Amino acid sequence: MTGKPDPRIRNIVILTGAGVSAESGVPTFRGPDGLWEGHRVEDVALPEAFRRNPLLVQRFYDERRAALSRVEPNAAHLALARLDAEWSGALLLVTQNVDDLHERAGSKRLLHMHGELKRALCTGCGAASPWSADLSGAPACPRCAAAALRPDIVWFGEMPYHMDIIEAAIDACDLFVSIGTSGAVYPAAGFVDHARSCGARTLELNLDRSAGTPMFGEVRHGPAGALVPEFVA
């Protein structure tokens, strides 16, 4: 992309999913080694699960937050950060991931549509804040002190973040690239359709076929750590 610019492409939207972090050692959600061992993610990633057993849910997220310190950005995150730094047109990296590997790699034009492990959300006043190291168990909100903090993660049935900005970027994009996502979760799974209807080129980079594969104009199969640097070069 940076070496041989296609003059028809100025505006790029890139969507990433769990597959982009898999080679860093962050587990994906679905498939045999899926994250919510023994459960379907659709059954547990729900606000009701938190209301039923907040301590269990907090503990799960405490462990994942701690695990972030043991992983590093991989070649795919680094290539996307390089593209961000070098691409003079519009670029928006939309990640469904709640890890911080894109920002640690250096991506700046980045939005987390499903929230972030390192942020907390007050169940009472709705204030979002960084998740500080001393928060664990079922902490109370430091601002209103009246309600409990929850992980700032978008669970099923909740509205993903930044939808207005994302939809506007897709409206204007010439190229939509989806990397390492199963295409099983909406609204992200519908972005490719939206991009196509706006006349954009669409490209999927995934280890295997995904639910979304038939909707893409171009598809490349392989590990993100190899495909993304190749795409960016």
Q: Which residue has the tokens 């979304």?
A: 212
Q: Which is nearer to ligand BJW, 128 or 184 (CB)?
A: 184
- Burial pattern 51-87, b for ≥16 Cβ within 10 A else e, equals eeebeebbebbbebbeebeebebbbbbbbbbbbbeeb
Q: How far is CA 180 from CA 89, 126, 143, 173, 204, in A?
A: 24, 31, 37, 20, 8
Residue 190 and residue 75: Cα distance in Å, rounded?
27
Q: Given 102, 114, 162, 194, which residue is catalytic?
A: 114
21 near ligand BJW, judged by CB under 6 A: no
Q: Is 23 annotated as a binding residue?
A: yes
β-pair type (128-130, 115-122): antiparallel
Strands (E) across 123-222 are located at 128-130, 149-153, 175-179, 201-206, 218-221
184 near ligand BJW, judged by CB under 6 A: yes
Amino acid sitting at position 18: A
Burial of 152 (0-12, 13-18, 19+ CB in 10 A): buried
> Shortest approach of ligand BJW to residue 11 CB, angstroms?
22
Q: Is 20 annotated as a binding residue?
A: yes
9 near ligand BJW, judged by CB under 6 A: no
Q: Is residue 112 annotated as part of the catalytic site, yes or no?
A: no
> Shortest approach of ligand BJW to residue 229 CB, angstroms?
12
Closest residue to ligand BJW, Cβ-based? 19
210 near ligand BJW, judged by CB under 6 A: yes
Residue 177 and residue 204: Cα distance in Å, rounded?
6
Q: Tokens at residue 29, please?
A: 């959600």
Residues in contact with 140: Cβ distance below 8 Å, sequence separation at least 6, in sequence order = 146, 147, 148, 149
Which range touches ligand BJW (CB under 6 A), out of 6-14, 37-45, 126-134, 192-200?
37-45
Q: Is 64 annotated as a binding residue?
A: yes
73 near ligand BJW, judged by CB under 6 A: no
Q: Is 17 annotated as a binding residue?
A: yes
37 near ligand BJW, judged by CB under 6 A: no
Among 18, 26, 91, 105, binds ligand BJW (CB under 6 A): 18
24 near ligand BJW, judged by CB under 6 A: no
Q: Is 44 annotated as a binding residue?
A: no
23 near ligand BJW, judged by CB under 6 A: yes
Over the Cα atoms of the chain, what is R_g? 18
Catalytically annotated residues? 114
Residues contributing to the site for ligand BJW (CB under 6 A): 17-19, 22-23, 28-30, 41-42, 45, 96, 98, 114, 153-160, 163, 180-182, 184-187, 206-208, 210, 223-224
Per the annotation, binding residues for substrate are 61, 64
